[in-house]
Structure 1
Amino acid sequence: MKIKTVAVLGAGAVGSYVIWGLSRRKDIRLGVLAEGKRAEKLKKGCTINGEVYHPEVWTPQEAKGVDLLIVSLKYGALPGAMDSIRQVTGENTTVMSLMNGVDSEKLISDEIGASHVIYSVIKVASHKEENGYCFNPETTIGIIFGEPCAPYDSERVQAIEALFADTGLHYRSTEYIREEIWSKFRLNVCNNLPQAILGAGVGCYQDSVHMKAISDGLRRELEAIAAAKGIAISKAAASSGHGSAVPPSARYSTLQDLDAGRHTEIDMFSGALVRMGRELGIPTPYNEYTYHMIKALEEKNDGKFDYSKEDGEITCSR
């Protein structure tokens, strides 16, 4: 098995890392999936670390039957992309989801069949600037992938390893991919979310016992749910317990979304944990509070609490 065609669905922060690396492979066809105005924009190129890359731009119909489809969307965009994923997936297509959270593989499997899906997770501190997406290739942990069950050294695992070799991408395969996914999930919930509510850089966890207490509360709830599901996070590699090296001022994806006035992926993080906690009978007060706080911040960004246009003035006295 040799991978000769790769399609990327989602050319944002995560997709840019893949495009950056695989553009070095001159023996494959690399394309991004897009239609309409999005396609016209991508045909002008993708600016990554100050350099413009020109992957092919394919419609889902044109990409039908590619060897590997890499899904790197925001969580909220996945339901609307399912039709495209179905159209692209051919008899021998492998689908790799590099989305956050712990359930994108199941959601995609429910649409196209589990036999097409290989489990994976990515850790890259990529961010958008005026001239495109930027990341540090050296400090990026990269892509971790594997089969959810034996044989772990499958033909397609070997094919993906061969595809990623000599590209600059950091990667490794593992037989503990579920644990690796939950390990990153823990990082996102415990480090991503409290920072977003506070609106401060990640240094807040070192500098405030109160921020650490919130992070620890979220972690305890997550680990209790993982244990109830038979997920032994401790089996994940030691490096998976840490993100890519970032300065104290770094702002993770949830805070970046709020800064930009976008809706976040909170439904995939605390929202999912609250739902799983209810199903398992495990209380999740920290995650419930965090979920509602970030939803309220989204509403604030949407202008729901803009009372400046109200007529009249209320004077309070006592």
Structure 2
Amino acid sequence: MKIKTVAVLGAGAVGSYVIWGLSNRKDIRLGVIAEGERAERMKKGCIINGITYHPEVWTPQEAKGTDLLLVALKYGALQGALESIRTITGEHTTVMSLMNGVDSEEIIAKEIGAAHILHALIKVASHKEGHGYCFNPETTIGIIFGELTAPYQSERVQAIEDLFADTGLHYRATEYIREEMWCKFRLKVGNNLPQAVLGAGVGCYRDSMHMKEISNKLREELEAIAAAKGIDIRKADDSSSHGSAVPPSARYSTLQDLDAGRHTEIDMFSGALIRMGKELGIPTPYNEYTYHIIKALEEKNDGKFDYQKDDESVTCSR
């Protein structure tokens, strides 16, 4: 098995890392999925670390049957992209989701079948600057992937390793991909969400016992759900514990979204945990509060609370 065609769905912070690395391969065809006005913008190139890259631009129909489809969307865009994913996926297409969270594979599998899915995650500190994206290739942990069951060194895992070799991309295969995904999920829930509510840099976890306590409670709820699902996150602790150092002022993706007036991926984080908690009979009070407060902050960004002096009066009990 040799991968000759790669399609990237989503050319933002995550997709840019893939485009940057695979653009070095001259023996494959690399394309970004886009249509209409977005396709015209993409044809002008992707600016990554100050350099403009020109992957091919394909419609879903043009990408049909590609060897590898990498899904790098924001969570809110996934439902609207399912038809495109279904169109692109051919009999021998492997689909890897590099989205945050732990349920995008399940959502995609309902459309195309679980046999096409190779579970994966990505760790890259990419951010937007001007019209492009920037990241540090040396400190980026990269793409982690693997089969859910043996044989773990499958033909398609070997094909992915061959594809990523000598590209500059950092990667590794693992026998514990589900545990690795939940380990990253725990990090996102515990670090992204309390900071987003407070509106402060990550130094808040170091400097405030209250912020640290909120972070710990969110993690405990997640760990209880994982345990009920038979997922032992400890199996991934050693391999996932290392990461890139960040300054106390760093603002993770959820807070970045709120800062920019965008809707967040809270449905993928606490929203998913609330749903799973209800299914398993596990209370998730910290995640429920966090879900609703971040939803309210989104509404505030949308202008829902821009009251005028002549607005209808409301009565508040004392």
The answer to whether TM tops 0.5 is yes
Partner of 1:230: 230
Partner of 1:176: 176
Partner of 1:198: 198
CA distance in 1, matches of 2:46, 2:167: 17
CA distance in 1, matches of 2:212, 2:67: 44
Partner of 1:40: 40
Any unmatched runs of 5+ in structure 1?
none
* Residue 260 (structure 1) aligned with residue 255 (structure 2): no
Partner of 1:106: 106
RMSD: 1.6
| Contact 2:183 2:237 (C-alpha < 8 Å) held by counterparts | no
Q: Give the deviation of 1:248 after TM superposition.
A: 1.4
Q: Normalising by structure 1, what TM-score? A: 0.97
Distance change >3 Å, CA 15–CA 313, structure 1 → 2: same
Q: Give the deviation of 1:242 after TM superposition.
A: 4.5
1:28-177 alignment runs, 5 A limit: 28-177=28-177
CA distance in 1, matches of 2:95, 2:184: 20
SS in 2 for 1:236: helix
| Contact 2:120 2:144 (C-alpha < 8 Å) held by counterparts | yes
Q: Percent identity?
A: 82
In the TM superposition, what whole-angstrom CA distance separates every residue of 1:134-170 from its partner, at most 9, and x where no partner exists? 1111111110000011111000000000000011111
Counterpart AA for 2:185: F
Q: Give the deviation of 1:278 after TM superposition.
A: 1.0
Counterpart AA for 1:118: L
Any unmatched runs of 5+ in structure 2?
none
Q: Give the deviation of 1:250 after TM superposition.
A: 1.1
Q: Give the deviation of 1:243 after TM superposition.
A: 4.0
Counterpart AA for 1:216: N
Is 239-248 or 77-86 further displaced after alignment? 239-248
Q: Give the deviation of 1:308 after TM superposition.
A: 3.1
**Alignment coverage as a number of residue pairs:** 316
SS in 2 for 1:269: helix
SS in 1 for 2:63: coil
Distance change >3 Å, CA 234–CA 61, structure 1 → 2: same
| Contact 1:187 1:243 (C-alpha < 8 Å) held by counterparts | no
* Residue 23 (structure 1) aligned with residue 19 (structure 2): no
Q: Normalising by structure 2, what TM-score? A: 0.97
Distance change >3 Å, CA 237–CA 172, structure 1 → 2: farther
CA distance in 1, matches of 2:245, 2:4: 33
Distance change >3 Å, CA 52–CA 220, structure 1 → 2: same
